[in-house]
DNA sequence: TCTACATACTCATGATTATGACTACTCATA
DNA sequence: TATGAGTAGTCATAATCATGAGTATGTAGA
């Protein structure tokens, strides 16, 4: 049950509606977790019933009303407990890696296409995260921000996301190069 | 349904028993996927029933008999189809990131302990992957191996695993430093 | 000799995630 | 004046993953 904690952590930055939260989690902009809108609405309902978050209705005229949620004291305690409990290790789980693992027994042309698609996707996220980091630290240097800024949590997780996507991009590119080279040299034996 | 393809991809390197496969997947040595033994036995049974793998009994004297599995032609076709189909993007999903996201609202001492545990774990995997890569390429250089070696799939995925764990380790260390620094300067205001 | 650990699995059940389909209103654009 | 896209959600169900417990044998170390 880590989604609930991811939601709590996301709400620490201020009140959000289910829809806003869903967008962040769905696009993966929330670079520390990923979830579908339906999961989030369900989780928000559960969290509210348990008193870990509190919602308030905001009436809107031009568009549907929405509910903004914020973390309660009980919610903070829950997060505290979660943070203190031992963390289980996380593993990669990626379809693309499975495909590359099988690269020697499978058509590589389609695989290369998918790798370059992934590389482009990763690059887009690199750009996004880079922008986000700059926005968060404003005109301060990174060191200054990390020492004196309030709310460095999102900054730190964003750094991990950045490095992860850089790693993705670089690996995709090097893998493409390796597969292409073999295609070339093995085309006419 | 990607576990089935991960199993097929793992069996490309040669016949394996459920137990051997389970060890690889459970320890996460299979750095392109992760699964528990029970999942694997269930998946192996399903794959065999569908004719994608074939098992043969090996009688042993000093220990329980085992069944070795290998991919059939139908299994290869299945893998081929999987590799050609579009890949959905993969996202990070890590409890530790959730905790760091909440770092500003939560006790950092326990968090730092977990970060250094994770850093050590990541370092151990870095060492392991490094060793695996050297074993795979033997006395050839990386370039030579990637050009002329048979079975480069496992090598490529292992490279991704290595970079991922290096990233983990580095991020953990820098995050620890940042949190420690704040603890120090904020201890006595 | 007792204990723990390694090999080699199976069964059952619960928790979590993923997916598709639906409602309802507004705004911009072709 | 359709058409599509954005806001703001809900419902139901299928697929997948995780967990605990249990079976049976052999080998090495305290």
pLDDT single digits (tens) A68-79: 999 999 999 999
Chain B residue closest in CA terms to A158: B101
Same domain for A127 and A179, yes or no, is yes
pLDDT in tens, chain B (189 residues): 789 999 999 999 899 999 999 999 987 776 789 999 999 999 999 999 999 999 999 998 888 899 999 999 999 999 999 999 999 888 888 999 999 999 999 999 999 999 999 999 999 999 999 999 999 999 999 999 999 999 999 999 999 999 999 999 999 999 999 999 999 887 654
Same domain for A55 and A10, yes or no, is yes
Does a structural domain hold residue B89? no
How many domains in chain A?
2
The residue among A23, A52, A84 that closes a domain is A84
Nearest by CB to residue B87, choosing from A88, A114, A167, is A114
Distance CA A135, CA A137 (A): 6
Q: A152-177, pLDDT tens digit by residue?
A: 999 999 999 999 999 999 999 999 99
Same domain for A110 and A60, yes or no, is no
Q: Minimal Cα–Cα distance from B57 to chain A, Å?
A: 25
- A60-88: average pLDDT: 93
Q: What is the 3-state secondary structure (H, E, C) of chain A?
A: CCHHHHHHHHHCCCCEEHHHHHHHHHHCCCCCCCCCHHHHHHHHHHHHHCCCEEEEEECCCCCCCEEEEEECHHHHHHHHHHHHCCCCCCCCCCHHHHHHHCHHHCCHHHHHHHHHHHHHHHHHHHHHHHHHHHHHHCCCCHHHHHHHCCCCHHHHHHHHHHHHHHHHHHHHHHHHHHHHHHHHHHHCC
Q: Minimal Cα–Cα distance from B108 to chain A, Å?
A: 9
Quick check: A98 and B118 CB within 8 A? no
The residue among B61, B84, B107 that closes a domain is B84
User: Looking at the C1' of nucleotide D23, which residue has the nearest alpha carbon?
Assistant: B64
Across all strands, nucleotide nearest A37 (CA–C1')? D9
In the numeric block, the tokens 């996201």 are attached to: B101
Same domain for A25 and A80, yes or no, is yes
**Mutation site, B101, B121, B171, interface A, largest A CB count within 10 A:** B101
Same domain for B80 and B103, yes or no, is no
- Please tell me the predicted confidence (pLDDT) of residue B187: 62
B185 three-class SS:
helix
Same domain for B63 and B24, yes or no, is yes
Quick check: B171 and A160 CB within 8 A? yes
- A116-132: average pLDDT: 93
Give the list of residues 6+ apart from residue A10 with CB closer than 8 angstroms, or none. Answer: A16, A21, A24, A25, A30, A33, B101
- Protein-to-nucleotide distance from the CA of A106 to the C1' of D13, whole angstroms: 35
Please tell me whether any atom of strand C lies within 7 Å of the Cβ of B67. yes
Residue A88 vs residue A175, higher pLDDT: A175
Q: Minimal Cα–Cα distance from B82 to chain A, Å?
A: 8
Same domain for A183 and A99, yes or no, is yes
Neighbouring C-alpha atoms within 13 Å toward the C-beta of B62: 0
Does a structural domain hold residue A8? yes
The residue among A50, A84, A118 that closes a domain is A84
Does a structural domain hold residue A174? yes
Does a structural domain hold residue B153? yes
Same domain for B107 and B179, yes or no, is yes
Token pair belonging to B153: 């799939």
Torsion A182-A183-A184-A187 (CA) sign = positive
Please tell me whether any atom of strand C lies within 7 Å of the Cβ of B15. no
Please tell me whether any atom of strand D lies within 7 Å of the Cβ of B60. no
Torsion B109-A162-B86-B159 (CA) sign = negative
Lowest mean pLDDT segment, chosen from A7-21, A43-57, B81-95, B96-110 = B81-95
Domain range holding A22? 3-84
Q: Domain holding B49: CATH number?
A: 1.10.10.10
- Please tell me the predicted confidence (pLDDT) of residue B94: 92
Token pair belonging to A105: 């027994």
Quick check: B147 and A110 CB within 8 A? no
Do B31 and B161 touch, CB atoms closer than 8 A?
Answer: yes
Q: Quick one: B4 exposed, middle or buried, by C-beta within 10 A (0-12, 13-18, 19+)? A: buried
Same domain for B42 and B70, yes or no, is yes
- Please tell me the predicted confidence (pLDDT) of residue A31: 77
Does a structural domain hold residue A167? yes
Q: Which nucleotides on strand D sit less than 7 A from a protein beta carbon?
A: 6-12, 15-21, 24-27
Does a structural domain hold residue A90? no
- Please tell me the predicted confidence (pLDDT) of residue B60: 87
- Protein-to-nucleotide distance from the CA of A60 to the C1' of C24, whole angstroms: 14
Does a structural domain hold residue B169? yes
A1 pLDDT more than 80: no
Please tell me whether any atom of strand D lies within 7 Å of the Cβ of A23. yes
- Please tell me the predicted confidence (pLDDT) of residue B83: 95
Does a structural domain hold residue B135? yes
- Please tell me the predicted confidence (pLDDT) of residue A2: 87
- Protein-to-nucleotide distance from the CA of A87 to the C1' of D5, whole angstroms: 41
Residue A69: closest CA among A91, A47, A94: A47
Quick check: A153 and B110 CB within 8 A? no
Chain B residue closest in CA terms to A160: B171
- Please tell me the predicted confidence (pLDDT) of residue B2: 87
- Please tell me the predicted confidence (pLDDT) of residue A30: 67
Same domain for B14 and B77, yes or no, is yes
Residue A26 — very low, low, confident or very high, per pLDDT cuts 50/70/90? confident
- Protein-to-nucleotide distance from the CA of A121 to the C1' of C22, whole angstroms: 31
Same domain for A49 and A126, yes or no, is no
User: Looking at the C1' of nucleotide D15, which residue has the nearest alpha carbon?
Assistant: B1
Same domain for A38 and A70, yes or no, is yes
């Amino acid at each position: 049950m880590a989604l609930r904690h991811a939601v709590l952590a996301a709400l620490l930055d201020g009140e959000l509606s289910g829809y806003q939260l869903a967008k962040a989690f769905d696009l993966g902009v929330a670079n520390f977790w990923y979830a579908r809108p339906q999961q989030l609405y369900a989780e928000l309902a559960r969290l509210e019933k348990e008193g870990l978050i509190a919602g308030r209705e905001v009436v809107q005229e031009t568009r549907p009303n929405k509910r903004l949620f914020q973390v309660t004291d009980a919610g903070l305690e829950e997060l505290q407990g979660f943070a203190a409990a031992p963390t289980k290790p996380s593993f990669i789980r990626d379809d693309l890696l499975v495909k590359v693992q099988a690269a020697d027994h499978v058509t590589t042309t389609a695989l290369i296409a998918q790798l370059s698609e992934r590389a482009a996707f990763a690059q887009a996220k690199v750009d996004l995260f880079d922008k986000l980091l700059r926005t968060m630290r404003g005109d301060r240097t990174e060191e200054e921000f990390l020492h004196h800024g309030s709310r460095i949590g999102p900054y730190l997780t964003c750094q991990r996301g950045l490095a992860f996507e850089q790693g993705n991009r670089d690996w995709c590119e090097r893998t493409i190069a390796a597969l292409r080279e073999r295609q070339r040299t093995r085309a006419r034996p």
